[in-house]
Chain A
Amino acid sequence: MEPGVIIREYTIPANDFVVAGEASSSVRKLLNQMGVAPAVVKRTSIAMYEAEINAVIHGHGGRAHVEIDSEKIVIRISDDGPGIPNVELAMQEGWSTAPDSVREMGFGAGMGLPNIKRHADAFHLDTEQGRGTTVNIIVHFR
């Protein structure tokens, strides 16, 4: 175990929105136990949930790797899905490739990536067509 770092790994199953929600709420509990300011906790959990949902919808599921130290939280969500063909488009609000079935469930409004970026202090996207996508999120506690 690394000193001063809490590590969590979560599996994000394909097509399961409920389990994705469990991962972000368990991270929220950890941050509350650490006494992180509520507004920061909120930003973190929104960003993480959005990234997880992306992995559920577009990536056929994936993994969440979370590292928390006393100053920040680093979240890495990765999937082995088809990748994002046009990152610039995907970052635009309202642009979505989600199928109708997903939209009917209230997801896929094209706000995912922009929303993650807005709530994170640092945001980095790695994607390769046919190989998958990794979203890196950092939120500082102050």
Chain B
Amino acid sequence: MGQEYFHSVTLDKDKCKGCTNCIKHCPTEAIRVRNGKAEITRERCIDCGECIRVCPYHAKKAVSDPFEMIGSYRYKIALPAPSLYGQFNPSFGREKILRALLHIGFDDVFEVAAAAEVVSDAPRRYLESHEVRKPVISTACPAVVRLVQVRFPNLIENLIHIDTPMEVAAGMARRRAAERTGIPAGEIGCFFLSPCAAKVTSVKAPFGKEKSEVDAVFAMKDIHLLLLEQLKKMNGMPSEEKHLMAGPAGVLWACTGGESAFLEKGRHIAVHGIANIIAILEETVEERLEDVDFIEALSCLEGCLGGPLTVENPFVAKTNLQAVIESAEASDFDPDCLVADPSELEWTREMPYIPVLKLDDDRMKALEKLQRIDVIEADLPGLDCGACGAPSCRALAEDIVRGFAKETDCVFKLREKVSDLAQRFGDLT
């Protein structure tokens, strides 16, 4: 599989019934139902996980790494996303969750929330040191970055070219472990505990850099039971606070508004849910947003707490996390000891526009195709029923012109043709 188009979101063909729920919800129209099964167009998929959420047969899944992979490294570091803390009853406490990770097989933990605090300072510095186009758009959510890359080429320049807290955490954790233990960096494994598919993809096919710092990604839901059993065993045992690094501000990154809460000055927007994000980005392209400096955008409703690989209902998780935040003390963790130079956090690779919507490289031919699409669409029923396997009549017309579908894929067109044929047959006899 080409690295360029690796995707975590995949289809379990046996479970797929060929219904039209997913095609209707995909924000990039990446899914078609063909021959009774859904197909994902890899170039278009942004790994937002909307299809995972809406599939009633659980045929859409996010591929992550198997937990057994932990065995392939000598020293194993868990990198819990802050959303992990929302998955458990807050009575367990954050320290216990971190210690439970050590009991299920990790040698070390490094809170991604702590790296979030390091990254948080970056937008301010970035705004001061770079000629940037405002509003600056956060790159913390990889699904949003991919969305911009395929649908909003004009906003690529607005993306903040700063690594995600996950990447920063992995780099810092590996360095710290190497210093502490003397184990060569190559034998240290950094494992991200992920709420979503998009993070898996951003490790396997990174943007902004050649290679991810993370070695493998485990789904929160895959380790949830293991952790819960461990937590129950540990209940009542005294806890020595020694793994907490992040303060409340870093933990807050799991929720919508967490990242922008760091920016003291300026006007910022915190938007969540992919449809809401598209609406805001549309306004941004047309310069309809006034005086907005920063847009925090998280693809899932309620931010990472709503991720498709989480276990707890996002609203319950939010309440859980709130309790964790209230009991968190301000961070005394000093990032300077691990990040020598803030420019280390910057992307080392530019992000190209992937023009997935383009009909042809030759503009004249593209225009002709558009005209044919118009003609075909005008002749379709306009019900957007999805029975043909495309999300709308317009999308079917596009598929026909691109050579992926035929007019009789439309059930109404087929019926017309059949009754036409019957008529002619009748005339003959």
B367 CB to closest chain A CB (Å) equals 5
Binds A, one of B171-179, B186-194, B325-333, B350-358: B350-358
Are A1 and B371 in contact (CB-based, < 8 A)? Answer: yes
Binds A, one of B56-64, B79-87, B279-287: B279-287
Q: Mark B142-184, 1 if CB is under 8 A from A, else 0.
A: 0000000001011000000000000000000000000000000
User: Which of chain B's residues have a CB closer than 8 A to the CB of A35?
Assistant: 355, 358-361, 363, 366
CA distance A66 to B290 in the complex (A): 27
Are B358 and A34 in contact (CB-based, < 8 A)? Answer: yes
Are A69 and B367 in contact (CB-based, < 8 A)? Answer: yes
Are A49 and B286 in contact (CB-based, < 8 A)? Answer: yes
Are B286 and A106 in contact (CB-based, < 8 A)? Answer: no
CA distance A39 to B359 in the complex (A): 18
Residue of A at shortest CB range from B360?
A: A35
B316 CB to closest chain A CB (Å) equals 34
User: Which of chain A's residues have a CB closer than 8 A to the CB of B415?
Assistant: none
- For residue A65, CB closer than 8 A to chain B, the reply is no
User: Which of chain A's residues have a CB closer than 8 A to the CB of B367?
Assistant: 4, 6, 34, 68-70
Interface size grouping (class) on chain B: 20 to 34
User: Which of chain A's residues have a CB closer than 8 A to the CB of B371?
Assistant: 1, 4, 6
A106 CB to closest chain B CB (Å) equals 5
- For residue A95, CB closer than 8 A to chain B, the reply is no
Are A106 and B290 in contact (CB-based, < 8 A)? Answer: yes
Are B288 and A21 in contact (CB-based, < 8 A)? Answer: yes
CA distance A70 to B359 in the complex (A): 13
- For residue B370, CB closer than 8 A to chain A, the reply is yes
Q: Which of B254-284 contact A (CB under 8 A)?
A: 282-283
Are A38 and B154 in contact (CB-based, < 8 A)? Answer: yes
Residue of A at shortest CB range from B368?
A: A4
- For residue A46, CB closer than 8 A to chain B, the reply is yes
Q: Which of A1-45 contact B (CB under 8 A)?
A: 1, 4, 6, 21, 24-25, 28-30, 32-36, 38-39, 41-42, 45
CA distance A45 to B281 in the complex (A): 13
User: Which of chain A's residues have a CB closer than 8 A to the CB of B282?
Assistant: 21, 25
Residue of A at shortest CB range from B378?
A: A1
Are B290 and A34 in contact (CB-based, < 8 A)? Answer: no
- Residue with the highest number of chain A CB atoms closer than 10 Å, among B288, B358, B359: B288
Are B374 and A49 in contact (CB-based, < 8 A)? Answer: no
User: Which of chain A's residues have a CB closer than 8 A to the CB of B285?
Assistant: 28, 42, 45
Are A39 and B370 in contact (CB-based, < 8 A)? Answer: no
User: Which of chain A's residues have a CB closer than 8 A to the CB of B355?
Assistant: 32, 35
A91 CB to closest chain B CB (Å) equals 19
A61 CB to closest chain B CB (Å) equals 18
- For residue A141, CB closer than 8 A to chain B, the reply is yes
* 8 residue pairs, one from A and one from B, having the closest CB atoms: A38-B153, A35-B358, A42-B154, A34-B366, A70-B364, A49-B286, A38-B154, A32-B357
- Pairs A–B under 8 Å by Cβ, sample size 14: A4-B367, A4-B371, A6-B370, A21-B282, A21-B286, A32-B355, A33-B357, A33-B370, A34-B370, A39-B154, A68-B367, A69-B367, A70-B367, A106-B290
Instruction: List 8 additional A-B contacts (Cβ < 8 Å) besides A28-B285, A35-B360.
Output: A1-B375, A25-B286, A29-B357, A30-B370, A33-B358, A42-B285, A45-B286, A70-B364
